[in-house]
Amino acid sequence: MKFTSFTQYLSLCLIGLTISCTSVKTTAQNKKPKNVILMIADGTGLSQISSSQFYNSQPSNYDRFKHIGLIKTSSASDLITDSAAGATAFSAGVKTYNGAIGVNTDTIAVPTILEDLEKRNFATGVIATSTITHATPASFYAHQKYRKMELEIAQELVTSGVDFFAGGGRKFFENREDGNNLVAALEGSGYEMYLDRLDPSLKMKASKKYGFLLADSGMPKVLEGRGSFLYDATKLGIKRLSKNKEGFFLMVEGSQVDWGGHNNDGEYLVSELIDFDTVIGQVLDYAAKDGNTLVVVTADHETGGFTLASDEGDYNKINPSFSTGGHSATMVPVFAYGPGAAEFMGIYENTAIYSKIKALIKE
Q: What is the pLDDT along the chain (363 residues), one digit of tens a residue?
A: 544 443 343 343 433 433 333 444 444 445 899 999 999 999 999 999 999 889 999 999 999 999 999 999 999 999 999 999 999 999 999 999 999 999 999 999 999 999 999 999 999 999 999 999 999 999 999 999 999 999 999 999 999 999 999 999 999 999 999 999 999 999 999 999 999 999 999 999 999 999 999 999 999 999 999 999 999 999 999 999 999 999 999 999 999 999 999 999 999 999 999 999 999 999 999 999 999 999 999 999 999 999 999 998 999 999 999 999 999 999 999 999 999 999 999 999 999 999 999 999 976
Considering the candidates 52, 74, 75, 83, report the single residue annotated as catalytic: 83
- Indicate if 242 belongs to the active site: no
Q: What whole-number distance in Å separates Cα of residue 181 and Cα of residue 352?
A: 38
Residue 186 neighbours by CB under 8 Å, 6+ apart: 157, 158, 173, 193, 211
Q: What whole-number distance in Å separates Cα of residue 84 and Cα of residue 146?
A: 8
C-alpha distances in angstroms, 187 versus 59, 159, 190, 192, 318?
A: 42, 11, 5, 6, 50
pLDDT, residue 86, reads 98
pLDDT, residue 363, reads 63
Quick one: 255 exposed, middle or buried, by C-beta within 10 A (0-12, 13-18, 19+)?
A: buried
Q: Is the pTM of this model over 0.75?
A: yes
| Spacing of C-alpha 345 from chain mean position | 19
